[in-house]
Amino acid sequence: MNLNRIKQLRISRAWSQEQLAELSSLSVRTVQRIENGEQASLETLGAIAAAFDIKVAELIAPTDTDENGSPDLALDQHIEAARRQVRRESRFYRGVIIYIIVNLALFVINRVSDPGYSWFYWPLGMWGALLLFRGLRVFVLRDWLSRWEQTRLQRILRK
């Protein structure tokens, strides 16, 4: 087993030893021992591999400079995921600005054309509800499903 492989993968994802320990459901001391060259059980390696979302064979294989096993690939994936999140947030904020402009225009049209009946509340409320759900999805639930899948996978591997 390549002793630095776990440390390389951890650093390429910008994780601390504590974060890796938490994601793999191990103690920090266990992660430290493995990174210092002590032998790890197959169960421990399985938990760490699940945290990195790789196979145990990839974890214990010697590192090459090829493009498939490179720790830079994990960093590139992390950067791409961050870019996708920024694009989602940008689309959401654009949607909020359009929502405000269009509903202000509808308010003005409603007050000019029929001041006795306030119909502009309907698009304001429906569009606002949809925008609220989109905001929840972008900011609150963004990685909920993938985190749940990873946690579930770790539990199954522990059995």
Q: What is the mean pLDDT of the chain?
A: 85
Any domain includes 153: no
pLDDT at residue 67, as a whole number: 43
Any domain includes 70: no
Residue whose pair of structure tokens reads 């493009």 in the numeric block: 67
Any domain includes 154: no
CA 128 to chain centre: 26
Rounded distance between C-alpha atoms, residue 71 and residue 54, angstroms:
12
Residues spanned by the domain of 14: 5-63
Overall domain count for the chain:
2
> Are 87 and 124 part of one and the same domain?
yes
Any domain includes 59: yes
Any domain includes 104: yes
* pLDDT tens-place string over residues 59-90: 777 654 444 445 566 667 778 888 888 999 99
Any domain includes 24: yes
Distances (CA, A) of 142 to 50, 62, 76, 92, 149: 20, 34, 19, 13, 13
49 Cβ contact partners less than 8 Å away, ≥ 6 residues apart: 55, 56, 58, 59
